Amino acid sequence: MLKVEDLRAGYGKIQVLHGVSLELGPGEVVALLGRNGAGKSTLLKAVMGMTSRFGGEVRFEGQPLGRMPAYARAQRGLGYVPEERRVFPELSVRENLEVAARPGAWTVARVFELFPRLAEIQSRRGGLLSGGEQQMLTVARTLVTNPRLLLLDEPTEGLAPILVRAIAGVVAELKAAGMPILLAEQNLKFTAPLADRAYVLETGEVRMSGPMDELAADARVRELLAL
């Protein structure tokens, strides 16, 4: 589904990623682990074509994306859930979803089933939602674009434990439905039960990679994550 080869990317003239390579197969959940500043968010943005690329390549479903802009990558089937959430504050929950919806299996009705709370508050404006509700809406809005691969950036950042568990349940349901997910997180407790494999980033480089269960038990990983 996704192959990143020797990717070097950053912002303007500043390079943040230094030769990152990874792969993600159909139906897999692959985690990007690392502290703040390790390069996780930059990697997701680079996959989406939202950074400067100094070298390397991103391939989606076998095809190189080159310098394809972000909107074209989204049209190809990449769904990006940014850490910043970026809901439309003046639109209702339903309107936030309807403005993004494209034909496919993920309809507004289906995401309301996945997120019952959003169904309850579907007439409320996006700017009046709590942080957790905005996170749910951002994931739901990306799903109704009917992506073939989901990029999730720090979905538990700033959320209360009860909402973290709710987001974990949603990711587990998406995995069960066969949705491939590239998940950037520093919350090992959240990530460990969900991911099949993981890459551990530090200062823009992959330090370790392997099966999630092995990495979760590795003291070196806990040291890199400052746990």
Q: What pLDDT score does 162 carry?
A: 86
Q: What is the pLDDT of residue 227?
A: 61
pLDDT value at residue 204: 95
Cβ distance 150 to 181 under 8 Å? yes
| pLDDT tens by residue, 128-163 | 999 889 999 999 999 999 999 999 999 888 888 888
- Please tell me the predicted confidence (pLDDT) of residue 123: 96
CA dihedral of residues 47, 53, 54, 56 (deg, nearest 10): 30
pLDDT at 15: 96
- For 1-76+193-227, which CATH superfamily applies? P-loop containing nucleotide triphosphate hydrolases (3.40.50.300)
Name beta bridge partners: 208.
Answer: 200
Residue 198: left (phi > 0), alpha (psi -120 to 50), or beta? beta
The segments of the chain whose pLDDT lies below 50 read: none
Contact 59, 2 (CB under 8 A): yes
Instruction: For residue 5, give the 3-state DSSP assignment.
Output: strand
